[in-house]
Amino acid sequence: MWFQLFGVPKEKTEEIRTAINLAKQEGIKNFAVWAYKGTKYMSHFPSEEPEKLWEIIKDEFSKIF
């Protein structure tokens, strides 16, 4: 399952954690994200809290892999 990390508004940041956990509950075993570090380095589609997004990904993926 792909998770979008670009263009994520601040109020939606924690929803990534919820989405990952729901996917795990449904038995999904393959996970990926776009883009690296929550698009911190992209000028056209940045997320409002890229560092927090990346910390969520690291935290949740460490529980899977």
Asked, for residue 6, whether it belongs to a domain, the answer is yes
Q: Rounded to 10 degrees, what is the CA torsion of 41, 65, 4, 39?
A: 0
Could you list the residue range(s) of the whole structural domain that residue 40 is in?
2-20+31-64
Q: What is the pTM of this model?
A: 0.88
| Per-residue pLDDT at 49 exceeds 90 | yes
Asked, for residue 26, whether it belongs to a domain, the answer is no
Asked, for residue 10, whether it belongs to a domain, the answer is yes
Asked, for residue 15, whether it belongs to a domain, the answer is yes
Tell me how far apart the 2 most distant CA atoms of the chain are, in Å.
Answer: 35
Q: Could you give the number of structural domains in the chain?
A: 1
3-state secondary structure the chain: CEEECCCCCHHHCCHHHHHHHHHHHCCCCCCEEECHHHHCCCCCCCCCCHHHHHHHHHHHHHHHC
pLDDT digits (tens, 9 = 90+) for 4-46: 999 999 999 999 999 999 999 999 999 999 888 888 887 788 8
Asked, for residue 25, whether it belongs to a domain, the answer is no
What is residue 43's predicted lDDT score, i.e. its pLDDT? 72
Task: Quote the crossing angle between the two packed helices 50-64 and 15-25, to the nearest 10°.
Answer: 20
